[in-house]
Structure 1
């Protein structure tokens, strides 16, 4: 396949995808004051599309900005700059009441399943409160038991119980039920299994997959565990120090990572084949989000970095159909030669 043919195919796929975009982040920036006139650059100009019905995994090391991105989507708080478009409407420009009207369609599951639930409320009240808030209190008797059963909880057994009487996995099921009771279209999952035992993690992941099919959900799944992300995601976006460095379909990205940082992450996944084999390591120290490096933020740890990486920030570009990376020197030797899109200019 020639380069023009690859470009034409990518363009056609892009146009088809455009109609299916339910959530779009455009040049999203989130910054926080750090005292002494300093600023934490938590999220620095990221752009992402989320397609209806997919699970997009957002992965990276702790402190890379992935949870901040999830909260920025929910406008908790509103981003410093940039836009979050949900079904074409920019959430960042809506009034408080306009944003409130959209909230039922966009829900979030938080990282700590116990602290995210009101310890004084009974489980049916926690799950049913969103219906009351939206003037649908008369539906609680019917809807709450249905949703509790859907997430694997017996309505009769939880009727008079409170969060502290449940395990972390059970509390996460309650959190999922609360998020689903208003029948949202998009569910932001912020590290929903990181606080759980491995066996319980599998149960919750299977539950999320079941709920996705049952309710027609679109998921943004935030995690640092690459094994979990690989199992649940259709596409993966990799973050490093507030920037997106690679986006691609899950298996393609894990089989042939093209960004040096993604390759570093993937090499760290333990498996029977890699047992006893040292993972690839980046050089240098992890920079601070208060004072990120110029140019490519990964350059201080990257074995491929040159002076160009310090002077010029790499732009996100398509290196193969549906494969995008922000790197001056992407690792393309694992891709089929006739699918590689040459760099413009």
Structure 2
């Protein structure tokens, strides 16, 4: 049995495909806390993303989404597990090799304004990657300047007109466009978007989402899109992984997961969308979204969602349910998943 076959047997939702660009295996991130305790931020998370695909990572605040994205970039280094990019394990790289590999993975941060240096012009901010990797003289050459102008144009900004302005002179949406330009100037293969629209107005959110879709097609990007809004994630993702208290509880195709969610927590997220689409299968409002979220300092044993789940029984406290297939490219970690449309006779 090959290494990929062994990993697939242990985690059946990992696909045995030759076009997998990013594969995360058994990722664990813990942070030290007082009295010798640890914050269990990410616990045994595994997923993969194929070339040209967008994987949405969704869950409520504090579930470990952003920590997962940063751990992929090795910021911080994960406690254990593997992050394989283009067949190379990033967790085993150090120094210059890791720095050079990171140029092929870029990240857009959640707060577009605070992630920009207020003392520098936006032309300098976006060109910083070119300056570091090509040298200041090469970054000033016509070819590099044209690349910079092209990236500005791609995100809807004019380098000559606004390049000498500073971040405080732009709106939140414009600052996010600048952040996207900064992430694209080194022509990466993988783009990690950490809640890039959560701080923006709804109308601006739509503009940024459309821009990301255009950039994905234009630059041939593979994307990990992190958000807490399932409706936003559905519109941009090919597949969705649902995360709860540091673990993935369901993963599958975007449309299938949205219309026939199997995990009680995924159903809670779907039901929380203010205006559901007509024809979307809904539960009867039984999901207890008001119960207090357990602390990652002391997560519940067994299924971590059991303290808020109306379907929980004794086995849920004793056995942590593994991800198991329930359909074509659809996996759920639940002892008592929600019945599908066919099973309910709907």
1:204 pairs with 2:208: yes
What is aligned with 2:297? 290
C-alpha deviation, 1:140, in angstroms: 2.9
Q: Is 2:188–2:221's contact at 8 Å kept on the other side of the alignment?
A: yes
Q: Deviation per CA, 1:55-82, whole angstroms, max 9, x where unpaired?
A: 1000000000000000001110110000
1:300 corresponds, among 307, 329, 333, to 307
How many Å separate the matches in 1 of 2:199 and 2:144?
30
What is aligned with 2:109? 110
Q: Would the alpha carbon gap of residues 329 and 336 (structure 1) be closer, same or farther in structure 2, given more than 3 Å must change?
A: closer
Secondary structure of the corresponding residue to residue 294 of structure 1: coil
Q: Would the alpha carbon gap of residues 14 and 312 (structure 1) be closer, same or farther in structure 2, given more than 3 Å must change?
A: closer
5 Å-filtered alignment, 1:47-196, equals 47-135=46-134, 136-137=138-139, 138=141, 139-196=143-200
C-alpha deviation, 1:324, in angstroms: 0.6
Q: Is 2:21–2:86's contact at 8 Å kept on the other side of the alignment?
A: yes
How many Å separate the matches in 2 of 1:266 and 1:112?
25
Q: Would the alpha carbon gap of residues 31 and 150 (structure 1) be closer, same or farther in structure 2, given more than 3 Å must change?
A: same
C-alpha deviation, 1:319, in angstroms: 1.2
Q: Deviation per CA, 1:287-336, whole angstroms, max 9, x where unpaired?
A: 10000000000011111111111011111111111001111112233257
TM-score of the two chains, using structure 2 as the length reference = 0.90
C-alpha deviation, 1:36, in angstroms: 1.5
How many Å separate the matches in 2 of 1:114 and 1:278?
41
C-alpha deviation, 1:101, in angstroms: 1.1
Q: Is 1:268–1:279's contact at 8 Å kept on the other side of the alignment?
A: no
Q: Is 2:113–2:175's contact at 8 Å kept on the other side of the alignment?
A: yes
How many Å separate the matches in 2 of 1:281 and 1:15?
29
Q: Would the alpha carbon gap of residues 219 and 273 (structure 1) be closer, same or farther in structure 2, given more than 3 Å must change?
A: closer
How many Å separate the matches in 1 of 2:260 and 2:340?
9
Secondary structure of the corresponding residue to residue 125 of structure 1: helix
5+ residue gaps, structure 2: 1-7
How many Å separate the matches in 2 of 1:129 and 1:222?
25
How many Å separate the matches in 1 of 2:256 and 2:43?
26
Q: Is 1:299–1:310's contact at 8 Å kept on the other side of the alignment?
A: yes
Q: Deviation per CA, 1:229-273, whole angstroms, max 9, x where unpaired?
A: 111111100000000000010110010001111111111111167
C-alpha deviation, 1:123, in angstroms: 1.1
Secondary structure of the corresponding residue to residue 36 of structure 1: helix
1:45 pairs with 2:52: no
Secondary structure of the corresponding residue to residue 186 of structure 2: coil
1:230 pairs with 2:229: no
How many Å separate the matches in 2 of 1:103 and 1:176?
16
5+ residue gaps, structure 1: 1-9, 338-345
Q: Would the alpha carbon gap of residues 263 and 168 (structure 1) be closer, same or farther in structure 2, given more than 3 Å must change?
A: same
Q: Deviation per CA, 1:71-128, whole angstroms, max 9, x where unpaired?
A: 0011101100001000111101111211111111100000000110111111111111
Secondary structure of the corresponding residue to residue 248 of structure 1: strand
